[in-house]
Amino acid sequence: MDGLSFCTPHPKVCSAFLSLPIQTHGSANLWRHVLGFPAYNFSAHCPSIHLKQNREVTHLIGRYLRLPGSPLAVFWHSLSRKFTTMSGEKVTIKSENPKGDLPCIVFDELLAESDKGLVVIQEWWGMNKQIKEEAHDIGKMGNFVTIVPDLYRGKIATDHEEAGHLMSNLDWPGAVKDIRATILHLKSMGCKKVGVTGFCMGGALSLAAGALLQDVVDAIAPFYGIPDEKLCDVSTIKCPVQCHFGALDDLVGFSSPKDVEKLEEKFKAGNVDYEMNIYDEAAHAFTNSSGPNYHKDSCHLALQRLCTFMNKSLVE
C-alpha cells in the first residue's frame, strides 16, 4: 500500500520531506520512506523548505507523525523502533585536530521536538556499543539530540592493556578540538544550546571542555574522571557543572575520593557553579552496564540527575 493512501499530508510537511538530503538525517530518510515520497511528486505544489533552516516545519513534522490514533503515527512508531533503536547516523565532521576529520554517531530522532544537544564522550575503551547505547538512552530519557565523537578514529579496545595504551597515546588537546567540532555540529543542526558529558576518560575531557571551550559549551556533567593540571585549569570554568563520582572509586590520581576533594577545592577557589554527587555504593565506571563495577541504582539515579540538570542548564 502506498504510504500516501491512508493520509493527506500538510503542504509544509510535504515540502520539508522534499528538501531532506539523502545522506543526512537517518530518521528523516525513514520519514520519506513512510510517506512513499519517491512515488509522488509534491514539487509542483509546495515550495522547497530546508529542515535545518526551518524549525517550525521540523516541529510540524514531529506533531504530524504523532497524531493520536492515526495509521501513520502507528506505522511510524513501529518503524522508528525497528530502525532507530541503536543505529544512529554515521557522520564525519571537520575538526581542527591534527588527525583530521572526525567520525561520529548522531542520534537525531528527537530533533523535531528538542533544541537541546548533548555531546557524550567515550570511556577509555573507545566508541564501542556500550557508549553508543548509553548516548542513545540518555537522549531518549532527557529529550536531547546526542552525538558521540570517535576520538580514537576507529580503534576499540577489548582489554585493559589495550585501553590503557590508546588512552595514554591520545592527543588530549586534539581531543578537546574534536569536542569543539561536535558542539558546533549540533548547533549547526539547530540545537540552540549544547552540553557535554562523559565517562572515565570522557569525564576528564568534559571538565577540560568546560575550561577550554568556554565560548561554545553551555554546561558539563563529568563522570568519574579529572583532567591533568597540565591540560587545563578547572577553576576557570564558567558554565554550570554537575559531577558524579563513586565513593568506592580507587583510581588514585584520577577519580578517587581524595582527587574529588582537590577538585572541589579548585572549584571553590574559582567560584565555579558546581554540584557534586557522590554515590556511596559505587566504584569507578558504575554506569557502564557491561563492566564489573556497574551499580544499577546509582547509575539510574545519576542519569536522572544528569537529564534534569541538562534540561535546566540548556534553556535559552
Q: Identify the pLDDT of residue 41.
A: 42
Angstrom CA distances, 85 to 21, 35, 108, 158, 216, stand at 21, 20, 12, 24, 29
Q: What angle do CA 315, 195, 90 make, to 5 degrees?
A: 120
- Give residue for cell 578517587: 256
Strand order in the sheet with 193-199: 89-93, 102-107, 145-149, 116-121, 193-199, 219-223, 241-246, 274-279
Q: What average pLDDT score do residues 128-143 get?
A: 96
The pLDDT of residue 316: 76
Taking a C-beta distance cutoff of 8 angstroms, is the pair 290, 238 a contact? no
CATH 3.40.50.720 fits 89-313, yes or no: no
**pLDDT cut 90: percent of the chain above it:** 70
Query: Worst-scoring range by mean pLDDT, 22-26, 142-146, 228-232, 307-311?
Result: 22-26
Extract the C-alpha cell encoding 152. 580514537
What is the arithmetic mean of pLDDT over 232-260? 98
| Residue 110 confidence (pLDDT) | 87
pLDDT of amino acid 111: 86
Q: What is the C-alpha separation between 200 and 222, in angstroms, rounded? A: 8
CB atoms within 10 A of CB 127: 24
Percent of the chain past pLDDT 70, that is, above it, reads 72
Q: Where are the domains of the chain?
A: 11-84, 89-313
Specify the pLDDT at position 32: 45
Convert the pLDDT of each residue in 59-118 to its tens digit. 555 555 444 444 554 444 444 444 444 579 999 999 999 999 999 999 998 888 899 999
5-60 pLDDT, tens per residue?
Answer: 333 444 444 444 444 443 444 444 444 444 444 433 434 444 444 444 444 554 55
Q: Does 314 score more than 70 pLDDT?
A: yes
**How far apart are the C-alpha atoms of 22 and 11, rounded to whole Å?**
20
Does residue 160 surpass a pLDDT of 60? yes
Query: What pLDDT is attached to residue 112?
Result: 84
> Mean pLDDT score of the chain, rounded to an integer?
82
